[in-house]
Amino acid sequence: MKRGTDKRERPTDAIARLIEAKRASLFDSYNLPPVERERAEMLFAEMRRVGDECRDLDEFNERFYHRTLSREYYRLMTDNGMYVRPEALPPLTFPAAPKK
């Protein structure tokens, strides 16, 4: 086998995918102003730094949820609710009235 052709996933690949999924979810759902976008990018850079220190996804998740990372991530969403893209909102549907 040639060097560099090993396609097995490293534990850190799962961490990188999770962070990118969180980033894509935020930027796909919110039309953030530049200042908030910069704030988000700084948070994702910190997530990547923490991810580099973790041996696997379980350790990253534990550190994410027991540190300020999770609070900051969710605060980004709550602080920027006014910038949610309309297409990211669930449709407003109501159940049909019961037939009599």
Query: What residues have CB less than 8 Å from 19, skipping those under 6 apart?
Result: 44, 47, 48, 51
Q: Which structure tokens are listed for 53?
A: 């220190």
pLDDT single digits (tens) 44-74: 999 999 999 999 999 999 999 987 899 999 9
Confidence (pTM): 0.77
The model's pLDDT over 68-81, given as tens digits with 9 standing for 90+, comes to: 899 999 999 999 99
Rounded Cα distance between 14 and 32, Å, is 26
